[in-house]
Amino acid sequence: MLRTTFSNNNLLTTIYFYESNDKRVLIAGTIFSMTACTKDDGLKLQAHNENRMMDSMHAMMARMEAMPMTNDPEIDFPKMMIMHHQGAINMGNVQIQEGKNDSLKRFSRKMIDA
């Protein structure tokens, strides 16, 4: 018998391999970890349409995906990097406008000014 165990996020999987009469039988048992059953940690989750940071990121990703590619890295790379960094600037502006942490606001301002 060969036993293999691996973990992926909140999923723990153990697989047992048995060899009998030249036939291999795979028996897999799956146990969800207890982290899914723990009490609320106090975080308030927001829908994507209620979170300006996520809205900004999704808009940037949509623009990048819609960008026509030329297969020329001398053109495609800078165009994508400009869009990517503009997305970071937009997210930094959201942090400055809505954030409460002064240190993160200063970091966002330095990143935008750079």
pLDDT of residue 42: 54
User: Are 11 and 33 contacting, i.e. CB atoms less than 8 angstroms apart?
Assistant: yes
Reply yes or no on whether the pLDDT at 38 is more than 90: no
What is the rounded CA–CA span in Å between residue 8 and residue 20? 29
The distance in angstroms from the start CA to the end CA of the chain is 59
pTM for the whole structure: 0.50
- Joined together, the tokens standing for residue 89 give 């600037």
Helix (H, G, I), strand (E, B) or coil at 96: helix
- Joined together, the tokens standing for residue 23 give 């036939």
Task: Among 46-55, 60-69, 91-100, name the one with the lowest average pLDDT.
Answer: 46-55
With a pLDDT cut of 70, the percent of the chain lying above it is 56
Closest CA to 3 of 13, 31, 11: 13
